[in-house]
Amino acid sequence: MLVNLHVQAIDQTEAIKTIKRKITDLDAMKIQEQKKAVRSGYDMDILPSDLATYGEDAKKLLNKLQTRNERLFMLTFLVLNVADTKQKLGNDVFQAAGVAQKYNCSLVRLDYQQEQGLVSSLPLGINQIKIQRSLTTSNVAVFVPFVTQELFQSGAAMYYGINAKSHNMIMLDRKQARCPNGLKLGTPGSGKSMSCKSEIVSVFLTTADDIFISDPEAEYYPLV
């Protein structure tokens, strides 16, 4: 599976003009719905939920571009699935669609556009797929590898949790770190002791290091 992102920046002035035109169109649609409500004899403040939501989102986006130094980008997100058999390919596509659906997204199969999709997935910098989604600077920045720092070492590395941004595993070998010391902080019941016990077991099973435990309350006695 290959994941590709084609990101194209939009001129700031043009982006603001486009959003303002969209807000004007939404306001016109709102007026039409209100007129229809008056003719039908019901409350004119009752509007379709989609229309109200789109209007609020457009105004928030305009505010971000004007006051928060955000820029507008057009993004094409491509997922290329390759398999040895048609059955395995179908399973891979179904699995990828399930992962996307879990996050309220949908993957559209590029029927009759497979060649364009393949070309767009190659490291050529060419995007022949005209399916795009507008995102702001902060939205684009969450994609790996723009700002996410990963910590995944090989060898005798041990598991220390999940990266909050990328949701990838944190694997660290303390002996290779600049500072091998560690300090675990957390609220009562958050799993500090469990994390320490897990690390002790990992050190015991994967290394020949000596383990010293200072435990006045004998909390680690069952483990020893």
Of the listed ranges 14-28, 65-79, 131-145, the one predicted with least confidence = 131-145
Give per-residue pLDDT as tens, 60-119. 888 888 888 888 899 898 888 888 898 998 898 888 888 888 888 888 888 888 899 899
For the chain, what's the residue count?
224
Tokens of 213: 């435990």
Would you state the pLDDT for residue 146? 55
* DSSP class of 174: G
DSSP 3-state of 132: coil
Distances (CA, A) of 40 to 27, 51, 52, 99: 20, 19, 20, 44
Q: pTM (2 decimals)?
A: 0.55
Would you state the pLDDT for residue 147? 62
Give per-residue pLDDT as tens, 141-197. 777 665 667 888 887 888 888 888 777 888 888 888 888 888 888 898 888 888 899
Would you state the pLDDT for residue 108? 85
The domains of the chain are located at: 2-141, 148-182, 189-224
Q: 122, 102, 136, 110: which is closest to 15 by C-alpha?
A: 136
Would you state the pLDDT for residue 89? 87
Q: How many CB atoms lie within 10 A of CB 171?
A: 17
The predicted model gives 24-53 an average pLDDT of 80
Give per-residue pLDDT as tens, 211-222. 899 888 888 888
Complete DSSP assignment for 12-81: HHHHHHHHHHHHHHHHHHHHHHHHHHHHHTS-TT---HHHHHHHHHHHHHHHHHHHS---EEEEEEEEE-
